[in-house]
Structure 1
């Protein structure tokens, strides 16, 4: 097998490649060695914590990575099967850089690595990942398979942190006074099958909750025999939606493969917009800060450019400050750290918490939804209606040969209709609405890796949203 070219699959935020053609034990060892030299030693960290998901290749790859780390005399702590937010917990609680072996929702033939510094601080293309990639490529090209000369090999130890992770999350959200709820959870054969019972159950001395949990696909299986573990695709929510209605459940929760994202379904089986979840959790977190004595005006919440317009409106109604940023976890995390923001949400159902080292955790967001629902008598559909104010298109991808020209056509169309523009992330056109004419906005973002334009549209009513969506799509695709 030829030496893999790491730049083909070491992406902006993580590693995501096909096994074994791209990601194999040799590559994992080289990346572990490079992570040790470029990040761990440079940061003065005493060790590395390593976790993995349920994919068949994950245990072997994570151990190869650990061997690369230990070749530098650095201790590698293997925490075994965990969710990505479980790895972030270990990185934060133990104060160690971390590596999580997962390809999230990608098909079974893929695997990957998410890297972080101590305290779950992200490692991306501009914060060390490029150096790790280049050093690992040099090791692979030279055939090096040993650490630096004279270095004593570090130990490789195992540690179970699942119970500590569960207890930590449970103490962040008070569920002691909620009413009894029935919740269907679709783990998609991913890591939610391990973490949901640990967090919502009575393990590690946790008190029993008034929850009846109906499990779907809790068996850990990295071949995903039932459906892709990607709830962002509507077809992957069908089983959950059907089960919620059949069981008369109060709500449904769906997790992706590495269980760092959580999607919510109401009692009717209708999907709840991640923007509505963002606004709901933001309201709770701002209120908690105010109750603790912080002025609302000193509390900030981060959201991205494709979040619903309702999100900044609701944050402002709470007296807090909304901070808008680019799409992507590295941008959200960096902005949250700069602002010391209490919470951040993305429309992709990633939710970030200051109390969780500014990292994303779908499970903590799920606990907030359960608490918000259980603390009052109304069904989830009525509770979330207050946070769902506008009609949205969802993200629509178009293959476009000249993305700049397509964006220019859409901009001219919007300018002729009185829109204002910003280019924080792609092009956002916003029409405020005049004399009863509904507001609308759209965002066009070009993919970094493919000739794609991603369109998101939102408007004051469904008819306006459909009209703007169809007109802009025709222009983008050269049909208008």
Structure 2
């Protein structure tokens, strides 16, 4: 038996290592605590599902037992993508759901993404589950909850196929990295009228080909090769649980999510003129002007899929997106992040063009870095960011945005440093109009970080 560790209760979800910080016993405790929280909000039913990880069946079964012990009825969707659990909380008679997923983490990880009474929980709502477990007296409900399985596949696919219409047939390549999206992506896009080349779409929790995380270029090389060697026009890639989208053009260019958001925003704003479009602090500086030119109001916000979902609900914005690949459509959809649906919406836009890659490659961009990580000890990241906020000076800057870390804007670029909410890391990203400007901005960040922490090992 693994003993309960507070470290698995993260900012946006619960995540641990199988056999070290997470096992069936912990899963059962989490289920019972979540069930009690659901009942406190007047919810009596919880939808659950799991991705393709090897530890999924055991954890999902224990989770269900915990929920039932709290007196909650369980609807088990089986092996599904994370957005299909979210979809279940809209399509079924249940507003709460738990997905057993390790997302894009290594194979020995697993965890839980949660929706409670219609809201993706984060922060204190997650740590309060830990406290519920600690305070629990070991009792169970006098009448345990019921358990039933439900196949949501057809309803989910039909909902998207009924909503998204292609302007013409298109041949695409899809790389699911042996993640759970592989069980659905091919059928979805064929159902929309695509010809589909499938790469690594057999679900295998060992991830034998490459890691299912399209945020990293090394995981997109097979897809790039496929586009070079076949007559497919565009490539789509998905993370391990199907809630994030990666895009590759015919000529091998990676279209990162902040540039995807330009097309999505322009399209959504034709139906919602003047509305706010939400994006996180890691996104390109070209996105806000693009939204403005398209008739919308750009709104920069904190990073974190649960935080963006909450802000989307608060503002009524029809679209939100993160650099990490979480795209949230409230226009024609439900406001949750769904890589498969985002892929469908992108194909709807691209099939209006004779050359989809030309449209994608024409989107504004600058020299930029991917996410860079400064690895630190537990707690050091928060202390370092506090010191930078109080002491750091950036000569020549135009604006410093502090909604999430420090985003320093210059006339010719920006630099970002923010504390990760899930690991002891400072996340950095840089963008500039010229290579020289990129070096200059990185140099300023290097100077202030080393002044605050002389032994920091910087990734640039």
Q: Same fold per TM (> 0.5)? A: yes
Q: Is the Cα contact below 8 Å between 1:4 and 1:21 reproduced in 2? A: no
Flag the 1:449–1:64 CA change in 2: closer, same or farther, 3 A. Answer: closer
State how 1:354-393 maps to structure 2 within 5 Å. Answer: 354=330, 355-380=332-357, 382-393=358-369
Structure 2 match to 1:436: none
What residue number does 1:278 align with? 261
- The 2-side partners of 1:395 and 1:159 are apart by 39
Q: How many residue pairs align between the two structures?
A: 446
Paired residues of 2:190 and 2:196 also in contact (CA < 8 A): no
Matching residue of 2:388: 407
- What is the TM-score of this pair, normalised by structure 2? 0.91
Change (3 A) 1:422 1:346: same
Query: Structure 1 residues 45 and 422, CA, compared in 2 at 3 Å: closer, same or farther?
Result: same
Superposition RMSD in Å: 2.1
Aligned to 2:174, the other structure's residue is in SS state strand
Tell me the equivalent position of 1:240: 223
Please say if residues 172 and 232 of structure 2, whose CA atoms lie closer than 8 Å, have aligned partners that are also in contact. Answer: yes
> Aligned pair 1:173/2:126, yes or no?
no
SS in 2 for 1:220: coil
Partner of 2:4: 4
Residues 169-191 of structure 1: CA deviation (Å, up to 9, x unaligned) = 2233222x22x322111101001
Distance apart, 1:19 and its partner CA: 1.1
1:301/1:320 contact within 8 Å kept = yes
The answer on whether the counterparts of 1:332 and 1:344 sit within 8 Å (CA) in structure 2 is: yes
CA gap 1:108/1:118 in 2 versus in 1, 3 angstroms: same
Q: Does 1:445 align with 2:418?
A: yes
Contact 1:116 1:122 in 2 (8 A): yes
Q: Which residues in structure 2 correspond to 1:289-328 (within 5 Å)?
A: 289=272, 296-297=273-274, 299-328=275-304
1:86-235 alignment runs, 5 A limit? 86-94=84-92, 95-119=94-118, 121-126=119-124, 128-139=125-136, 144=138, 147-148=140-141, 151-175=142-166, 177-178=167-168, 180-202=169-191, 209=193, 211-235=194-218
CA distance in 1, matches of 2:416, 2:161: 37
Please name the residue that 2:405 is paired with.
426
Q: What is the Cα deviation at residue 81 of structure 1?
A: 0.6
- Paired position in structure 2 for 1:292: none
For residues 211-251 of structure 1, the C-alpha deviation after alignment (integer angstroms, 9 at most, x for no partner) is 22111111111111111111212211111111111113211
Does the 8 Å contact 1:406/1:476 carry over to 2? no
**Please, which of 63, 68, 75 is the counterpart of residue 73 of structure 2?**
75
Measure, in 1, the Cα distance between the counterparts of 2:322 and 2:389: 26
Contact 2:397 2:408 in 1 (8 A): no
Which residue of the partner structure matches residue 42 of structure 1? Answer: 40
- Cα contact 1:352–1:360 (8 A) shared by 2: yes
| CA displacement 1:312-331 (0-9 Å, x = unmatched) | 11111111111111111122
Asked whether the 8 Å contact 1:163–1:198 carries over to 2, the reply is no
| CA 301–404 in structure 1, closer or farther in 2 if over 3 Å, else same | closer
What is the CA distance between 1:448 and its match in structure 2? 4.0
**1:349: Cα distance to partner?**
0.7
Aligned pair in 2 of structure 1 residues 118, 449: CA closer, same or farther (>3 Å)?
Answer: closer
Shift of 1:451: 4.7
In 2: Cα distance, 1:199 partner to 1:334 partner: 28
CA-CA distance at 1:273 after TM superposition: 1.8
**Taking structure 1 as reference, are residues 372 and 450 closer, same or farther at Cα in structure 2, changes over 3 Å only?**
closer
CA separation of 1:2/1:197 partners in 2, compared to 1, >3 Å: closer, same or farther? closer
Matched with 1:257 is 240
1:417 aligns to 2:396 (yes or no): yes
- How much does 1:252 deviate? 0.8
Q: Secondary structure at the match of 1:356?
A: coil
443-452 or 70-79: which moved more?
Answer: 443-452
What is the match of residue 433 of structure 2?
460
Q: Is the 8 A contact 2:77 2:149 kept in 1?
A: yes
TM-score, length-normalised on structure 1?
Answer: 0.88
Which residue matches 1:396?
Answer: 372
Q: Is the 8 A contact 2:2 2:26 kept in 1?
A: no
Alignment of 1:317-356 (within 5 A): 317-354=293-330, 355-356=332-333
